[in-house]
Amino acid sequence: MMNIFQLFPFLLAIFTITHCDEHDHKYEDGQEVVLWMNTVGPYHNRQETYNYFSLPFCRGSKKEISHYHETLGENILGVELEYSGVDINYKRDKTKTDICEITLSHENYDAFTYAIKNHYWYQMFIDDLPTWGIVGEMDESGKSAYIWTHKKFDIGYNGNRIVDVNLTAESKVQIQPNSKLIFTYEVTWKPSTISFTNRFDKYLDPGFFQHKIHWFSIFNSFMMVLFLVGLVSMILLRTLRKDYARYGKDDDLDDM
């Protein structure tokens, strides 16, 4: 009969394997890597965001995952990531594969067209690393809307850790009511010299994001402040005028 000391290495190996995931950011070859969908919204107004699946995107065929992504930071910020249903495995390249297929109803067509006209973009996460993509674009005439149906992921790894994620949107397709859309993806894994501790450095680069001053929002806020100051001042002046008139009458009565 095996004693506890003989079982210990076996139990330790099981514990290590079952706890290799995005929570400790360590993966075994072929292990599941989860693609989380976060938000979608207009590029020129970063504060306006909606759930990714508020647009009529469809999910992949994979319905279950081995673990659920939930952290204290997400709870505090109110972030709720949703599983994409896309099958990705560590260091396993994936050729062009279907995610899902949808038929555009008039309602879905209008939703996508509105999003494309307003330059909607979306955010996703792989192993806590964010990546972004654009929903689509209008043609030069501004009458026809095109959507990107293919997502190409280039994922960099260093040892057993993911250190870089890049997304390229491809396959531009014109959308029309009652037309079919087939969404696809592919995954390419590449070795990287980026260390795990420095994998967020590129997001700290000032040139990574294009900062744009929203002059209309600033002007709108300024006018709102002026209106509120004027309203409060008018109320105070009317109150002070009534009080002054009342005190003036009291003084006249005292003089008599």
What distance lies between CA 112 and its chain's CA centroid? 17
The total domain count for the chain is 2
Are 173 and 109 in contact by the 8 Å Cβ rule? The answer is no
Q: Is 3 part of a structural domain of the chain?
A: no
Residues 241 and 142 in one domain: no
- Tell me the C-alpha distance between 125 and 74, whole Å: 13
Q: Is 222 part of a structural domain of the chain?
A: yes
The pair of structure tokens assigned to 129 is: 């690393």
The residue among 143, 145, 126 whose CA lies nearest residue 134 is 145
Please classify residue 152 by burial: count the beta carbons closer than 10 Å to its beta carbon, then call 0-12 exposed, 13-18 middle and 19+ buried.
Answer: middle
Q: Is 204 part of a structural domain of the chain?
A: yes
Residues 151 and 47 in one domain: yes
- Tell me the C-alpha distance between 217 and 42, whole Å: 15
Residues 86 and 178 in one domain: yes
Residues 19-78 have pLDDT tens digits of 455 567 899 999 999 999 999 999 888 788 899 999 999 999 887 665 555 555 555 555
Residues 119 and 45 in one domain: yes
Residues 219 and 144 in one domain: no
Instruction: Look up the domain containing 220 and give its range.
Output: 214-256
> What is the value of pTM for the model shown?
0.70
Residues 66-84 have pLDDT tens digits of 555 555 555 555 566 889 9
Residues 69 and 178 in one domain: yes
Residues 144 and 60 in one domain: yes
Q: Is 8 part of a structural domain of the chain?
A: no
- With vertex at residue 173, the alpha carbon angle to CA 171 and CA 174, rounded to the nearest 5 degrees, is 165
Q: Is 106 part of a structural domain of the chain?
A: yes
Are 204 and 198 in contact by the 8 Å Cβ rule? The answer is no
Residues 144-171 have pLDDT tens digits of 999 999 999 999 999 999 999 999 999 9
Q: Is 145 part of a structural domain of the chain?
A: yes
Q: Is 235 part of a structural domain of the chain?
A: yes
Residues 183 and 195 in one domain: yes
Residues 115 and 237 in one domain: no
